[in-house]
Each structure stands twice: as C-alpha cells, then as structure tokens.
C-alpha cells in the first residue's frame, strides 16, 4: 500500500528535539513484495471496496507487485490503502528476513512470510516510537533505558522467520510503552499550565474546535470524526489515538508526541495544519 505523504522525504530534524528517523522505518514499497496487499485481511467498508482474506492477493495487485490503481485509490474506494503505514516492515521481511525470495516465485515461503509481516510491523512501530523518544531532550534521564529497548527490539527484528513468529509482540509493547509513558510525562511536565488528561477517552465526534490541548494526554483516545479545527495540540501525547476523519484543519500539532503518519493519513487537514517535522502532509489534504 502507499504512504500518504506529499514528498519522498526519509528523515527530518524534528521539532521534538532533533530526532532523525531512519529510512529503515519508512515504507519502501519498491523493495517490498506487496506484503500489505496480500498478508492482511480487508473487510468491505468505507476504506476498502471489497472483502479480502489474509494471504489472498488483492485483485488490484499486478504481477510486478505494484498496485494497478495506485493513482486513483481513494476514488475507487480504497482509501484504507492510502492510510496504512508498515513502518518499513515490508521491505525488512522481503529483503532481510527472506533474503529477497518473493512469495510468487517461492510459494513455499508465502505462509511464513505473511505470518511474520504483522509481527515485524508491530516491532517496527515500536522502533519508531523509541527513536522519537531518544530525540526528546526532556527524556534525557531515560536515554540508557531507551537505547537498551531500541537495541533489544531491533535485535528481535533480525531473527529468522521462526524466531519472529515466536515473538510475543504484546509483551514487548507493554515493556516499551511503560518507557514511552515516562518519556511523555517528562516532556509534558515542561509545558506550562494545566494539562488535560483524556487518556483512552471516548471523544468520538467531540466538539473540540480551538481547544487548549497543549501537553494533553490523549493516549489511546477515540477521536474519530472529532472537530479539532484550530486546536492547540502542541506536545500532546497522541500515541494510539484514533484520528479517523478527525478534522485537524488549522490545528497545531507541533511537537505532538508519538503521532504517526498513518494517524495523520486517516484524518482531515489542510495547509494550515502544523505538523511535527518528521511527518509529511498527506497528499489528500
């Protein structure tokens, strides 16, 4: 699937204190055997025009692993494809774990490759967050722990297919998340004034236009279709927040913590939306 950014930038000096995200954590579809177009299931919905079982190639996938409707995904009912981000897991599984042996020419590897892909994606997502946390000046006291977690997680991504299939991603995530939460608290403690906490809150469709959410805890908040126009979300922790169809026009997300490209791609925004420097403005905004 495609990423929704408007340019091909692979790294950036972040407003979160100079974090530079490795190209390894950016989707590189040209070096992937279209794993997200095969390994993952779709349910017919607003994001996908059809049902598709896990392991079944999408009907729009060409023999060369390119999408046959790449330029018209949204118009053809496949907006979900423009939202998904593998954090570079696709090329890692294709080129490193399976050494460039693709599932078409080596069908015997297909099942294992498709099983490993979601595991790798989960681990790469954690690498993304840990890389960001390491670039946060306020989280300096945690750097040794963050580096250790980054190293351990990276080591897991370099295992054999069998090693990867045995990884308990939930357990790894729980350990990493505890660290990320501490990093978030250190950063947000430096934001002046009262910080709002909406951790895990159901804010679906909430009217939050112009809201003062600087430094807020919005971890895991349900913000589907929320009106966040011109909201101040600077340094807000948005890890795991569901931003599908949230209206971010004119919102300020400068320095927002643990925001991903996939979250942005799923939301609405415009030229006036201010973004963390490591993310790109979705092409459909």
Binding region for ligand SF4 (CB under 6 A): 1, 37, 58, 60-61, 67, 69, 73, 78, 81
Which C-beta is closer to ligand SF4: that of 87 or that of 129?
Answer: 87
* Tally of CB atoms within 10 A around 63: 8
Could you tell me the smallest distance in angstroms from the CB atom of residue 28 to ligand SF4? Answer: 15
52: phi then psi, degrees, rounded to nearest 5: -150, 135
Tokens 């929704």 sit at which residue?
4
Spatial neighbors of 166 by CB under 8 A, at least 6 apart, are none
Burial of 128 (0-12, 13-18, 19+ CB in 10 A): buried
Which C-beta is closer to ligand SF4: that of 17 or that of 55?
Answer: 55
Q: How far apart are CA 254 and CA 257, in angstroms?
A: 9
Which C-beta is closer to ligand SF4: that of 3 or that of 195?
Answer: 3
Q: Please say whether the beta carbons of 87 and 127 come within 8 A.
A: yes
Which C-beta is closer to ligand SF4: that of 78 or that of 117?
Answer: 78
Could you tell me the smallest distance in angstroms from the CB atom of residue 283 to ligand SF4? Answer: 14
Which C-beta is closer to ligand SF4: that of 58 or that of 183?
Answer: 58
Which C-beta is closer to ligand SF4: that of 52 or that of 219?
Answer: 52
Could you tell me the smallest distance in angstroms from the CB atom of residue 38 to ligand SF4? Answer: 8
Q: Please say whether the beta carbons of 109 and 99 come within 8 A.
A: no
Could you tell me the smallest distance in angstroms from the CB atom of residue 203 to ligand SF4? Answer: 29
Which C-beta is closer to ligand SF4: that of 120 or that of 248?
Answer: 120
Q: Which residues pair with 42 in a beta bridge?
A: 52
Half-sphere exposure of 68 (CA within 13 A, CB side): 7
Could you tell me the smallest distance in angstroms from the CB atom of residue 111 to ligand SF4? Answer: 19
Could you tell me the smallest distance in angstroms from the CB atom of residue 72 to ligand SF4? Answer: 10
Chain center to CA of 98: 23
- Locate all alpha helices (DSSP H) within 48-88, ordered by sequence: 79-83
DSSP secondary structure letter of residue 58: P
Could you tell me the smallest distance in angstroms from the CB atom of residue 229 to ligand SF4? Answer: 30
CA distances (Å), 187 to each of 19, 195, 242, in order? 14, 12, 22
């Amino acid at each position: 699937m495609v990423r929704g950014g408007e340019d091909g930038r692979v790294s950036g000096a972040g407003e979160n204190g100079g974090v530079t995200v490795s190209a390894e954590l950016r989707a590189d579809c040209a070096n992937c055997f279209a794993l997200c177009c095969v390994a993952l299931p779709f349910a017919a919905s607003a994001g996908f025009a059809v049902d598709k079982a896990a392991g079944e190639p999408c009907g729009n996938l060409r023999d060369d692993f390119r999408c046959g409707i790449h330029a018209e995904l949204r118009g053809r009912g496949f907006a979900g494809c423009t939202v998904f981000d593998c954090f570079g897991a696709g090329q890692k599984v294709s080129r490193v774990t399976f050494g460039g042996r693709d599932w078409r020419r080596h069908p015997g590897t297909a099942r294992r490759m498709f099983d490993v892909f979601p595991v790798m994606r989960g681990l790469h997502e954690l690498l993304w967050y840990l890389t960001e946390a390491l670039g946060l000046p306020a989280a300096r006291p945690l750097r040794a722990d963050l580096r250790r977690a980054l190293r351990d997680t990276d080591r897991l991504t370099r295992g054999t297919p069998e090693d990867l299939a045995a990884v308990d991603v939930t357990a790894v995530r729980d350990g990493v998340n505890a660290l990320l939460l501490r990093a978030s608290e250190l950063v947000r403690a430096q934001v002046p004034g009262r910080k709002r906490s909406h951790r895990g809150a159901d804010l679906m469709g909430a009217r939050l236009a112009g809201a003062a959410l600087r430094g807020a805890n919005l971890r895991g908040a349900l913000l589907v279709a929320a009106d966040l126009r011109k909201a101040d979300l600077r340094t807000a922790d948005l890890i795991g927040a569901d931003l599908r169809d949230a209206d971010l026009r004119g919102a300020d997300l400068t320095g927002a913590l643990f925001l991903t490209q996939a979250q942005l791609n799923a939301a609405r925004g415009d030229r006036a939306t201010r973004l963390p420097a490591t993310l790109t403005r979705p092409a459909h905004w």
